[in-house]
Structure 1
Amino acid sequence: MMTNDVLILGSGIAALQLASFLNKDLNVRIITKGKIRTTNSYLAQGGIAAAIGEQDHPMKHIADTFEAGRYHNNRETVEKIITAAPQLIKFISEQGAVFDKDQNGKLLLGMEGAHSEKRIVHGGGDATGKNVVEFLISTLKDHVTIEEDVFAYELLLNSEKRCIGVKAKGSDGTIKNYYSRNTIIATGGCGQLFTYTSNAQTVNGDGIAMAYLAGAEVVDMEFIQFHPTLLYLNGETKGLISEAVRGEGAILVTEEGTPIMEGVHPLKDLAPRHVVSQEIYDYLKKGCNIYLDISKIKNFKQRFPSITTICEENGLQLSEGRIPVAPGSHFLMGGIKTDLFGRTSIKGLFAIGEAACTGFHGANRLASNSLLEGLYMGEKLSKLLNKADREAVVGTVVTRPSIPQKKVVLPDKQDIKSLMMERVGIVRNEVNLKKQKAWLDAFNVNQINDIGSYSLGEMTKVFMLITAKLITESALMRTESRGGHYRSDYPIEDDEHWVNESIIHKKSWGMESNHEHIETALAT
């Protein structure tokens, strides 16, 4: 029996931050579906938000977070994470050349949409995620073992409904049980459910679906942030064009050069992401291409080397001063419901990073708050686990009732993505949501007893369908528009009924999801 003190699923910033802070006398194992650097964290361009400027203050950062999140945020969570942000940045900055500094050794601060001050710390220009991930990997000690190309697909529970590990399949098809005192899901969000996305190829919602199947509470799944500006060529998105580009002065224009954000929002091109995404989407639906005019940004190639590489690799000449863009799925504000230590509704199971929902982001994430949350949650959970009792993993694994069933015929992956983009994407309505729910219901994937009998590709599709269903059902139930959730048939925010309400999904074995409306300790 392979027993671990801490088993971490995923290798993004939250996972690596946790592993780096765990005591050396703990046996720690990281397993990841792809390679250790195949994560959204590694791709993150913009930076990390922290109120460290002379004119800035955490209260300003808190106010901006509430405004972007449309006041659906958990107040205590927001205050604690943002108050801790300057110290988190200081700690990493003192360890080495991770973040960009001026000639006097002072951290350079950038501006991004919906921020009231320059407070975005970045590294390598637009390679912040890569810089921080490489730093964290370099800090890992011998007590941390990393296994790549291992697909965790089922949480192991004992008779007391305590999580005692996971069942996983290797790239060669070998199935193995990994037992652990503490199991942490840090598998990221679900961007690959949509045709256009900035997310890594491996980010399909696996961890969220796996937690849901085990009976963990999942919350706020309707809130999907669509990043306004992905490089858009020949009908396909090719990579992220960071919001920092607009922060440096780029504006969104039509083919004729007409600015599109004039009169739409007081912040114009730096309006919250859901506002900008919806505006671009409206133009694209009318057959009008939209561009980022970067002609006024001096030394663009030096300031944004990663974006320059993406553009040049796809044959785009930056000398023309315009980058064609389209919105795509970028970040999930919902996820596995946790407290500030990452504890879920299942004992022994934790979730951190984008897979988790702490209430920090509310209905729409403020730019550059995600890496901050990952750093905070990783360190916070390490403190809990470092002092936890070393109880033995006990009890027999309880399996689901064995019900003979035919293997489910699964749809093509591209069909899942295109239908989610069309019906549950940037603009939603009851007709399309009901169509999508009926389509998803027809596959009945929630009742699959032995996911491990499917191929790796099929397993991915099963988890995509489960997560897609959670999103679709939540979007159908929330009869208002708020943050990343926009209903054309309910275009107005309904504070009276919805600002303090969340939709929780919880599955009991052998049963469909129970939907609950819960009143949460949210900002008012």
Structure 2
Amino acid sequence: MNVQFTDVLVIGTGIAGLMTAECLRSHKNVTIITKSSFQNSNSYHAQGGIAAATQPDDHWTEHFLDTIKAGSFHNEEVLTEILVKEGPELISRLEKMNVPFDRNPDGTVSLGREGGHRKSRILHAGGDRTGSRIVTTLYNRIAGHVTIKENEMIGDLIVEGGRCRGAWTKLKNGEVTVYIAGAVILASGGAAGLYSVHSNDISITGDSIALAYRAGALLSDLEFLQFHPTMLFTHGKSFGLVSEAVRGEGAVLLTDQGDRVMKGIHELEDLAPRDIVARTIHQSLNRGRKVFLDVSNVKNFTKRFPTITKQCKRAQVSLEEGRIPVAPGAHFTMGGAVTNEWGQTTVPGLYAVGEASRTGVHGANRLASNSLLEGVVFSKRAALKILDEPGTSPASISNDLEKTRPGRTLPEKEEIKEKMTRYAGIVRSPHGLREAIGWFERHNHWNPDVGCTTHELEVLNMLQTGHLIVTSAYIRKESRGGHYRTDFPVRNDGEWLKKQVYRRKDYYEQAEAKKTAAGIFA
């Protein structure tokens, strides 16, 4: 068994993990671990852009209001304000790193609009390749300055004396390594990969949630799982995400009978918040209708969306007809390890950033293109806190790592996904959730140890995280955002929404006053 020491251990190579390393690389010894490669992350595959109020006719308060309205007023307002106020600064920082954001012929940044936004404030890079362009830029900046370990699976975090001291890992060949660190940062994504149809990288198996839970960290909002409305879905198979930016460029949702799916459903129609669009498409599909994204009005579609064009070719969908068959799929986890504004969890020494965290900025339903923004804003803040904390010299650990074997056969990954899709999908019922809880309780009796294979470690994390999600969904007795139950009405519209707006009247008035003072209003 190998033992290694590092100042900071980062788990995950998405935008959040890489941004944290970028901020720390000149000051700390940083080790980054990923169970696959830096290209295997949701951040890398992100087709959408990064949102921020960067223009004179926009303001952080506008972005703030769009964010909490999309989040069904379940957002942590203080942290949400931090997100949208510090966003423009981080965009400027990315530009200085030479992230190649798309530009207009006159050299100005090209801005798009996506669901839930009342303004065009989305920056893209390479059309629908924003994630890969940002991640590659960050990776190239830190390569050679930090230690990067690929294809190494985290088995579990090591907690001693009430503090996270590091983690142990395992390679496919069985080799085990213990990393002792002054600070540990969870940045290995969410849990949408636990569903049969999803947009996530194949590596996403709910690891961050399971690791945080076993370490004793407080978790919250796991029931809020966002389903992206438009996965390219044909012949019973998903071929990847169709970015919301396509609807932002004028595409509309149609049934096979030619009816507008979102007409009369929401004031923003096809650009309504994702939870509303996903449920509406789901209802159409349940009525036996097929749903298509009509892209015939989108100018230069193949040039603007090269990744989606390739997906259509792979799925044998002809773009000449201008219609892409779509269905909702699991996409983003709003919940996770609860953190403060500096990325600190309730376990000293353990931080969480990106989709692994529950900052509360997404509320019950994430606003489009706020995920990459959260990744850079709060990673920078976590790095600042680590630099501000008194130096903690890594020390040896006392606990021995036991080596055992499972006492029973574990279920297959596809069986776990089937249970999650059936019982904790877009529409949930109390009976179905009870069924799911019972199933997970029959299989969730074994913690990982060094005797496990890397495959078994992933399955155990899926079981742990799945159990937590369905239990959280059963406990929350309401329908809000990404959590919809058949026995409770939706609480993000109508009179309830008006009451929430009224309850925050003072805050809104202050926000409007700040906009007026900034010269946004005449």
CA deviation vs aligned residue, 1:84-124 (integer Å, no higher than 9, x gap) = 11111112113325200112221100000110100000000
- Mapping of 1:509-524 within 5 angstroms? none
1:280 is paired with a residue of what secondary structure? helix
Counterpart check, 1:362 vs 2:360: no
Given residue 149 of structure 1, which amino acid in structure 2 is its aligned partner? N
- Mapping of 1:181-330 within 5 angstroms? 181-330=182-331
Contact 2:155 2:448 in 1 (8 A): no
Given residue 450 of structure 2, which amino acid in structure 1 is its aligned partner? G
Contact 1:157 1:398 in 2 (8 A): no
Alpha-carbon offset, residue 331 of structure 1: 0.3
Contact 2:252 2:295 in 1 (8 A): yes
The change in CA–CA distance for 1:49 and 1:365 in structure 2 (over 3 A counts) is: same
Contact 1:334 1:356 in 2 (8 A): yes
Determine the structure 1 residue equivalent to 2:465: 467
Determine the structure 1 residue equivalent to 2:515: none
Contact 1:53 1:118 in 2 (8 A): no
Determine the structure 1 residue equivalent to 2:517: none
Given residue 488 of structure 1, which amino acid in structure 2 is its aligned partner? T
Determine the structure 1 residue equivalent to 2:439: 439
Determine the structure 1 residue equivalent to 2:47: 45
CA separation in 1, counterparts of 2:400 and 2:474?
32
CA separation in 1, counterparts of 2:143 and 2:203?
26
Contact 2:53 2:60 in 1 (8 A): yes
CA separation in 2, counterparts of 1:397 and 1:131?
43
CA separation in 2, counterparts of 1:360 and 1:450?
32
Contact 2:256 2:290 in 1 (8 A): yes
Which residues of structure 2 form unaligned runs of 5+? Answer: 498-506, 509-522
Determine the structure 2 residue equivalent to 1:415: 415
Which 4+ stretches in 1 moved above 6 angstroms?
402-405
Contact 1:480 1:494 in 2 (8 A): no
Alpha-carbon offset, residue 287 of structure 1: 2.4
Determine the structure 2 residue equivalent to 1:511: none
Q: 1:157 aligns with which of 159, 178, 189?
A: 159
1:323 is paired with a residue of what secondary structure? strand
Q: 2:145 aligns with which of 143, 147, 158?
A: 143
Contact 1:157 1:397 in 2 (8 A): no
2:385 is paired with a residue of what secondary structure? helix
CA separation in 1, counterparts of 2:41 and 2:404?
37
CA separation in 1, counterparts of 2:210 and 2:97?
37
Q: Name which of structure 1's ranges 355-364 and 279-288 shifts more when overlaid on structure 2.
A: 279-288
Determine the structure 2 residue equivalent to 1:429: 429
Contact 1:169 1:175 in 2 (8 A): yes
Alpha-carbon offset, residue 474 of structure 1: 0.7
Determine the structure 2 residue equivalent to 1:515: none
Contact 1:25 1:143 in 2 (8 A): no
Root-mean-square deviation (Å) = 1.9
Alpha-carbon offset, residue 298 of structure 1: 1.2
CA separation in 2, counterparts of 1:350 and 1:436?
30
Determine the structure 1 residue equivalent to 2:381: 380
Counterpart check, 1:133 vs 2:123: no
Alpha-carbon offset, residue 191 of structure 1: 1.2
Contact 2:172 2:453 in 1 (8 A): no
The change in CA–CA distance for 1:399 and 1:341 in structure 2 (over 3 A counts) is: farther
1:126 is paired with a residue of what secondary structure? coil
CA separation in 1, counterparts of 2:189 and 2:130?
17
Alpha-carbon offset, residue 405 of structure 1: 8.4
The change in CA–CA distance for 1:449 and 1:271 in structure 2 (over 3 A counts) is: closer
Percent identity of the aligned residues? 42
Determine the structure 2 residue equivalent to 1:346: 347
CA separation in 2, counterparts of 1:246 and 1:137?
31
Determine the structure 1 residue equivalent to 2:513: none
CA separation in 2, counterparts of 1:99 and 1:42?
15
Given residue 458 of structure 1, which amino acid in structure 2 is its aligned partner? E
CA separation in 2, counterparts of 1:218 and 1:343?
12
Alpha-carbon offset, residue 455 of structure 1: 1.9
Contact 2:73 2:363 in 1 (8 A): yes
Q: 1:68 aligns with which of 60, 67, 70?
A: 70
CA separation in 2, counterparts of 1:226 and 1:377?
24
CA separation in 2, counterparts of 1:491 and 1:148?
46
Given residue 99 of structure 1, which amino acid in structure 2 is its aligned partner? F
Aligned residues: 495
The change in CA–CA distance for 1:286 and 1:169 in structure 2 (over 3 A counts) is: same
Determine the structure 2 residue equivalent to 1:507: none
Alpha-carbon offset, residue 172 of structure 1: 1.3
Which residues of structure 1 form unaligned runs of 5+? Answer: 500-522
